[in-house]
Structure 1
Amino acid sequence: MTLKKRFKFIEKSNSLGEISFVPYLPFSLSSPDSSISGSGLLDTGASVNVLPYEIGLQLGLNWDNYNTSVTLAGNLANFPAKGVILLATIDPFVPITLVFAWTQAKNIPLLLGRINFFQEFDVCFYGSQLAFELALKSI
């Protein structure tokens, strides 16, 4: 039997006070030096997972230690990014390795995109119920 967990969309408001409900996933991220708890926006339109600069610093990452450049598109195209590998723990699933484009862009959410979050998890969105369901990929 496949282990699944359902999560509710989170209420967010923008700078104009407009409210929307968005699919944020709670998790913890670990680097060799540190671990933090947070949440990421499930973004089916994002090609890659994107790690905001501040979160990388909280994890003890040093920008100069990473050599793999990543080219981002869209609103993030003008910002440098580097590839990093982190361990993500999403309760109740086993920890999983995720690859991120660590960007110097500020004031952006952590994005969980097609590479490699949606390659590791099956996600079903229930828009009318403001919820989504997560399951590890089937082997």
Structure 2
Amino acid sequence: MRNAERYPFVSGDTALSEAGFRPYLPFTLLNQQVSIRASALLDTGASVNVLPYLVGVELGYDWERQTAALTLTGNLAQYEARVVLVQSAQRQLEQAQLVFAWTQATNVPLILGQVNFFMEFDVCFYRSQLEFAVSLKSAATE
């Protein structure tokens, strides 16, 4: 992976020992004049990026002004969701525009999924080393 940034897995549950570690990516969310430092779970099984309700509010989004609705599945199927675009920046990596399903759920982590995080970034998991690497998608795939 070219120009990859490496990150450690983060312990989510100390009772589970090594099994409790998860790949959380620290990054910045940007919306107009607002920027928020956040940590998001990299979830290859998630179809979409998910933005928890309170994070969206902190970024300055108004629920009533977001008119593009979508239906989530699984644990989040009971909550309404809206489509929002957010700029993101990771350490030395360039900024990327990410599409999020902004959910009314407040008990969900910030999730980076297939659409569109894994479409914009290459990720390599080194689970046995409790690390992962992230880089912008390679030019050959553009």
Q: TM-score, normalised by structure 1?
A: 0.94
Please tell me whether the aligned partners of residues 33 and 60 of structure 1 are also in contact (alpha carbons under 8 angstroms).
no
Aligned residues: 137
Residue 2 of structure 1: CA displacement? Answer: 2.1
Residue 18 of structure 1: CA displacement? Answer: 4.2
2:124 aligned partner: 124
Q: Once the two structures are superposed, what CA deviation does each residue of 1:1-39 show, in whole Å capped at 9, x if it has no partner?
A: 82111110001128xx54510000000001124110011
RMSD between aligned residues: 1.4
Separation of aligned partners in 1, 2:62 and 2:130: 37
Which piece of structure 1 moves more, 70-79 or 1-10? 1-10
User: 1:137 aligned to 2:109?
Assistant: no
Structure 1: unaligned runs, 5 residues or longer? none
Following TM superposition, the consecutive aligned residue runs of length 4 or more in structure 1 with deviations greater than 3 angstroms are none
Separation of aligned partners in 1, 2:33 and 2:82: 18
Relative to total residues, which structure has the larger helix share, 1 or 2? Answer: 2
2:41 aligned partner: 41
Which piece of structure 1 moves more, 29-38 or 85-94? 29-38
1:52 aligned partner: 52
Q: Once the two structures are superposed, what CA deviation does each residue of 1:20-66 show, in whole Å capped at 9, x if it has no partner?
A: 10000000001124110011000000000000000001111100110
2:100 aligned partner: 100
Within 5 A, what are the aligned runs for 1:1-139? Answer: 2-13=2-13, 17-19=15-17, 20-139=20-139
User: Which secondary structure does the structure 1 equivalent of 2:40 belong to?
Assistant: strand
User: Which secondary structure does the structure 2 equivalent of 1:128 belong to?
Assistant: helix
Q: TM-score, normalised by structure 2?
A: 0.92
Which residue identity lines up with residue 101 of structure 1 in the other structure? A
User: Which secondary structure does the structure 2 equivalent of 1:91 belong to?
Assistant: coil
User: Which secondary structure does the structure 2 equivalent of 1:92 belong to?
Assistant: coil
Separation of aligned partners in 1, 2:69 and 2:32: 21
